[in-house]
Amino acid sequence: MSDDRAPPATASWDQEPLVATRYESGAIACPGHPLGPEGTQPVGTVDLAEHTAQVVTWTTSTATPPGVREPNHLAIVEFEVEGRSVRVLGQLTTGEVETGDEVRPIYVEELREPGVGIKDADGPQAWDGYRFEPVE
């Protein structure tokens, strides 16, 4: 779903999770940056939450930092949106995946326990986001 709202004026990590930034060049990135590839301006946003993606690669991490689930299943996934590829890193709901699997985003209020690691619970770090679940 495309959205022509004005791009976020604040830092990229204040964006809603899985809202990507579209730039003048046509590139789309999640998370976004104040300036895009080759210094192009952001011109809109794209909500990826209603799309499915493909697993590019994945791992199961068994040595996790304080406040992070163990094991922690992680993947880089790729969305195809408006004729562009957009890659996103996120947790998986399961370790039972293969490269190329189709996954959908599932919202989670806390991806890791806030404030247990080096960052303050009430600081600028967001703790919510999306895990990716295989589509049966």
Partner 1 sequence: MDEPVAVIGASMTQFGQREAWIQELLAEAGAACLEDAGVPPADVEHVYAANMASGEFEGQGGVMNALAHDLGLLPAYSQRVDQTSSSGGAGIYAAWQSVASGASEMTLLVGGEKMTHRTTGEATDVIASITHPAEYKHGVTLPSFAGMTARHYLETHDAPRESLAKVAVKNHQHGVDNPNAQFQKEVDEATVLESPIVADPLRLYDFCPITDGSAALLLCPESVAREYTEEYAVISGVAGATDTHVVHQREDPTRMGGVIESSDRAYEMAGIGPEDVDVAELHDMFTILEFLQMEGLGFAEAGEAWQHVEAGRTERDGELPINTSGGLKSKGHPLGASGVAQAVELYEQLVGEAGPRQVEADVGLACNVGGFGNCVITTILESGGEAA
| Contact residues: partner 1, CB under 8 A | 12-13, 17, 29-31, 56-69, 72, 74-76, 87-91, 95, 99, 111-112, 117-119, 124-129
- Closest separation between CB of residue 5 and partner 1, Å? 19
Of 22 and 112, the one with the shorter C-beta distance to partner 1 is 112
At a CB cut-off of 8 Å and minimum separation 6, what does 69 contact? 112
Q: What is the secondary structure of 76-92 as a DSSP string?
A: EEEEEETTEEEEEEEEE
DSSP code at position 125? -
Q: State the residue for tokens 């791009």.
A: 7
- Closest separation between CB of residue 116 and partner 1, Å? 9
- Closest separation between CB of residue 135 and partner 1, Å? 20
Token pair of 2, please? 């495309």
C-alpha–C-alpha distance, residues 101 and 99, integer Å: 6
Of 1 and 89, the one with the shorter C-beta distance to partner 1 is 89
